[in-house]
């Protein structure tokens, strides 16, 4: 009988009370786990990430060779739609000797058609950063200035400043793919007589792209004086190429200002030499020469 009782005790299961307690505990643990998964995911903000892919199309809109406009291409690196406000971009120069030191450059901005734009998930878009070209101190020097671009972005439907995130580019060098071209050394003589006046000047391409250009001559008294190229080709335009990082010198016997029968002694004449990009007929440089006709 003793042996039989021992066998029965070994075969006896867990008591109903203990089983109930264990079942309740497992249910509570499972419920907490599910709640953490559901509510934790719901409260976590959607990921946001913006990349600055490149800078390009460096331009100068005045007569110097300093950059006052260039393009910035960015990518929304997540699937979350984002919002970028008008003043979201900032530009900083990087110290050449210590690249951990940066200085913000004022006056640089992006001009949107509206106060803000929306960039869909994974989209790529190019913006134009520019400054006032009359402010030489904020313009940039080709092949010299190192910069960092910072961009503040918001989730598409958020206006809470706490939801904004700031992303910055790697250190970038201001380039010179499209110029600029600088026209210098116009002939300084102020008088020309019956034999005319030879003009000499040079053009320098500060860019890394070869350019096909037009030299265009004009004057406020075109009926009184004319231009000759090599004294044989009676035209006011010259087409030529200017290689990257090179200077072309036009000697004094190339372009000649010739008087006509209508030229008046002691009259003032203004000659404007304009350099055009032949591909899009965009003015990229110019110079003015003031002359007085004297016999």
**pLDDT, position 41:** 47
The residue extents of the domains of the chain are: 50-173, 181-293
More confident residue, 265 or 29: 265
Task: Output the pLDDT for position 7.
Answer: 47
Give the lowest-confidence range in 14-28, 45-59, 100-114, 269-283: 14-28
Do the Cβ atoms of 187 and 289 come closer than 8 Å?
Answer: yes
Predicted local confidence at residue 255, as pLDDT: 79
Q: What is the CATH number of domain 50-173?
A: 2.60.40
Asked if residue 215 has pLDDT above 80, the reply is yes
3-state helix, strand, coil in the chain (%, to 5): 15, 45, 40
Which region among 108-112, 217-221, 244-248 has the lowest average model confidence (pLDDT)? 217-221
Burial of 290 (0-12, 13-18, 19+ CB in 10 A): exposed
Q: In this structure, what are the phi and psi dihedrals at residue 99, rounded to the nearest 5 degrees?
A: -75, 0
Instruction: State yes or no: pLDDT of 141 exceeds 60.
Output: yes
Q: Do domains 50-173 and 181-293 have the same CATH topology?
A: yes
Q: What is the mean pLDDT of residues 119-134?
A: 90
CATH number of 181-293: 2.60.40.10
Which residues partner with 208 through β-bridges?
A: none
Bridge partner list, 71 = 56, 128
Residue 213 has pLDDT above 60, yes or no: yes
Q: Is the pLDDT of residue 268 over 80?
A: yes
Q: How many CA atoms lie within 13 A of 122 on its CB side?
A: 1
**Mean pLDDT across 49-62:** 85
pLDDT range class, residue 39, cuts 50, 70, 90: low
């Amino acid at each position: 009988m003793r042996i039989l009782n021992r066998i029965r005790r070994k075969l006896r299961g867990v008591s109903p009370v203990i089983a109930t307690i264990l079942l309740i505990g497992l249910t509570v643990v499972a419920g907490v786990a599910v709640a953490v998964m559901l509510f934790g995911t719901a409260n976590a903000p959607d990921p946001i990430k913006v990349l600055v892919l490149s800078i390009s199309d460096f331009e100068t809109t005045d007569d110097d060779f300093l950059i006052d406009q260039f393009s910035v291409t960015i990518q929304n690196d997540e699937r979350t739609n984002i919002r970028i406000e008008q003043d979201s971009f900032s530009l900083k120069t990087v110290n050449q000797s210590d690249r951990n030191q940066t200085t913000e450059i004022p006056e640089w901005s992006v001009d949107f058609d509206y106060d803000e734009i929306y960039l869909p998930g994974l989209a790529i878009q190019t913006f134009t950063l520019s400054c006032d070209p009359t402010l030489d101190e904020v313009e940039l020097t080709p092949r010299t200035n190192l910069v960092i671009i910072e961009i503040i972005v918001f989730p598409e439907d958020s206006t809470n400043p706490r939801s904004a995130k700031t992303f910055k580019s790697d250190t970038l060098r201001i380039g010179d793919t499209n110029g600029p071209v600088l026209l210098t050394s116009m002939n300084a003589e102020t008088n020309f007589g019956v034999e005319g006046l030879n003009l000499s000047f040079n053009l320098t391409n500060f860019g890394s792209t070869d350019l096909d250009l037009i030299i265009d001559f004009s004057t406020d008294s075109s009926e009184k004086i004319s231009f000759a190229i090599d004294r044989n080709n009676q035209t006011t335009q010259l087409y030529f190429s200017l290689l990257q990082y090179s200077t072309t010198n036009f000697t004094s016997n190339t372009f000649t200002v010739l008087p006509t029968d209508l030229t008046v002694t002691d009259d003032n004449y203004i000659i404007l030499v304009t350099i055009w990009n032949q591909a899009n007929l965009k003015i990229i440089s110019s110079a003015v020469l003031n002359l007085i006709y004297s016999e």
